[in-house]
Structure 1
Amino acid sequence: MTDSNASSGFGLHILVAEDNPVNQLVAEKLLKKLGCTCVIANNGREAIGMLASGTYDLILMDVMMPELDGMSATREIRAVKNETTDIPIVAFTANAMKSDQEACYAAGMNDFISKPVTVDRMREMLAKWTAIIKGEKAG
């Protein structure tokens, strides 16, 4: 099986906010396979701190984390008016009910990907957001 996107890659730099070490590893491997780089934040508070010192194209945000959950972290990111306010935030969660998705959108997240995530689903999400991000940078 060949992966045409892996050879060209999406080229995004992604902040992954995830507290589970296994899920961190899975996300890191998937993103690398799809031509992205990433850094890991162990909770929402750490993710907010990392936004202050780094530049990211997108955030994959787990919903259930210690110290500061993904919903609260997203609300804080959206509340601060600076260059990170409009960064795309994708919920990265095992909670896949429609009500969970609606809660993520209400908190300020832009998209939703459920765990366990597949390569195809991650590719679809990255393709969508790469087009949006590159379109915004060009325009």
Structure 2
Amino acid sequence: MNTTADQLHSAADTAADKIGSSPAHQAFRILQFGFTVAPILAGLDKFFHLLVNWDQYLPGVVAGISPLPSHTLMLVVGVIEIVAGIGVALRPRIFAYIVAAWLALIIINLLLIPGYFDVALRDFGLLLAALALARLSHQFSRK
């Protein structure tokens, strides 16, 4: 015999299945994964230089006004990126916007260095993706 509670439970399961399999929800999860892993890996690599020597991305103007030595400043950047990645995993509604703002600062920084305009353009695409994650998080994340 089908009770009202069984019907409600079945309806809730069906709704959850639809949300989990919707293309929008899948896009949200893909973006959340990407903006969790990429900043954490980039942040960690500021300490190890396995991907690239990150110090080359610091323009002389910024190095000149910073009270920190260039390498130390890049280590601080690495910590910020690690925190941002963890933040996207835990609270995407907030941290996706923070990552987008961080990418805007990175783009400005790259535009100050001749020869890195292609990287700035790529980061503009990442900024748009971070904003898409932020918008999707309003529908698919409670945090």
- Whether TM exceeds 0.5 here: the answer is no
More strand, by proportion: 1
More helix, by proportion: 2
Larger Rg: 2
TM-score normalized by the length of structure 1: 0.29
With a CA cutoff of 8 Å and minimum separation of 6, indicate the structure with the bigger relative contact order. 2
